[in-house]
Amino acid sequence: KLSNRLEAVANNIPEGARLADIGSDHAYLPCNVVKKGTVPMAIAGEVAEGPFQSALEQVQEESLTDKISVRKGDGLEAIEPGEVDCITIAGMGGTLISTILEKGKSKLEGVSRLVLQPNVGSFAVRRWLIDNGWELIKEEILEEDRKIYEILVAEKGEPLKPYQHINLEIGILFGPFLLKEKPEVFKEKWKAEKRNWERILKQLDDAVQNDDTASKRQELRTKLKMAEEA
Ligand code: SAM
């Protein structure tokens, strides 16, 4: 059984899509959706030897070697252009996810959906999507084991569409759909963030002042202002 987090990622994979799961670790996600019949085949990509071996073992154990190809490679180097319809990247920071997409741009032609689950820094993913012609079509947020996760689903389209009636910077930080729906977990997350920023700001106010603390304070004040507006 998948974690609720991976289950939520899996639920956003289109029926019948050819899938690549990048940074697959144990390949739990591709194994699950292939077994369920959601997808006919999948590629599990891993850059690190340990997780790559875990993925190979898992796929062998579940007798799925004919349907899941486990490949070692950095990001989208694990796939060929046109090989998959959907890419999932889950359980890493938003900056790493956007770097993987940026470096692998040439492999995205023909891909129709991205399901991205940044653990932190989802703003970096939203920014990358906007800059590269991908339209966010759905966002989810969930809490599991006292951690909060966001899931971003994107398709080729009009990248600014979800941000039409809101301030762009605020939309990128909080997520346009989450901002609109304001689920309970979302409110909890940002209340906690806000308390954290206020605490750091107070420490900086008490610290020796220099250019560094000044710019950090400015950044925190901007974020606090955005949180209040949101
Ligand atoms: N996707 C799984 C999940 O959500 O449970 C595993 C997440 S695990 C925390 C992150 C995995 O991403 C690690 O196994 C790591 O080796 C892999 N990874 C990190 N950078 C990568 C890259 N550039 N290309 C492929 N895999 C990468």
Query: Is there a contact between 97 and 151 (Cβ–Cβ < 8 Å)?
Result: no
46: CA distance to ligand 1 center in Å?
A: 6
Residue 58 CB–ligand 1 contact under 6 Å: no
Residue 101 CB–ligand 1 contact under 6 Å: no
Residue nearest to atom 27 of ligand 1 (CA): 23
If DSSP codes are grouped into helix, strand and coil, which group holds residue 153?
strand
How high is the pLDDT of residue 138? 98
Residues 6+ apart with CB under 8 A from 15: 38, 39
76: CA distance to ligand 1 center in Å?
A: 12
- pLDDT tens-digit series, residues 47-72: 999 999 999 999 999 999 999 999 99
Query: Is there a contact between 118 and 150 (Cβ–Cβ < 8 Å)?
Result: yes
Look up the pTM and report it.
0.95
Closest CA to 52 of 21, 83, 8: 21
How high is the pLDDT of residue 208? 83
Q: How far apart are CA 131 and CA 140, in angstroms?
A: 21
CATH 3.30.67.10 for domain 4-161, yes or no, is no
What are the domain boundaries of the chain? 4-161, 187-229
What is each CA distance from 48 to 22, 27, 30, 211, 219, in whole angstroms? 11, 13, 17, 39, 35
How high is the pLDDT of residue 10? 98
Give the ipTM.
0.99
Q: Which H or E element spans position 156?
A: strand 147-156
How high is the pLDDT of residue 205? 87
Residue 100 CB–ligand 1 contact under 6 Å: yes
* Block mean pLDDT (10 aa), the chain, length 230: 97 98 98 98 98 98 98 98 98 98 96 98 98 98 96 98 95 97 96 93 88 91 89
How high is the pLDDT of residue 209? 85
